[in-house]
Amino acid sequence: MGKSGKITYVLLGLGVAGGALISVKQNREKIRELVEKVKKKTRILRENQEESEWLKKAGRPDPYDFEDVKMVEEGAQYSVNYYNKKVQQS
């Protein structure tokens, strides 16, 4: 028996075990709750990963990322304009 034959039997066994497990209503509810927990945790992990990518870039704009450079420049101008208005009003 080759490797693919063993894999086939393993998958068949898992399918039969899964079917037997799902046949009981309590087990279906437990599996549903488990799936929901896994979905929630993977969503949180994905959000944290996206946030960490954003934080890696923060404060060190790539000079060739023109949109980011433009945003940093506009942010700097905003604070200078705000300060100038406050000083002129005083």
The reported pTM is 0.38
Amino acid in position 77: Q
Residue 75 has pLDDT above 70, yes or no: yes
Domain residue limits at 90: 65-90
Predicted confidence (pLDDT) per residue in 13-26, tens digit? 888 888 888 888 88
Is 62 within 8 Å of 68 (Cβ atoms)?
Answer: yes
**Treating both helix axes as pointing N-terminal to C-terminal, what angle do 3-22 and 25-57 enclose, rounded to 10 degrees?**
120
Whether 80 maps to a domain, the answer reads yes
69 and 53 belong to one structural domain: no
Count of domains forming the chain? 2
- Percentage of the residues of the chain whose pLDDT score is greater than 70: 80
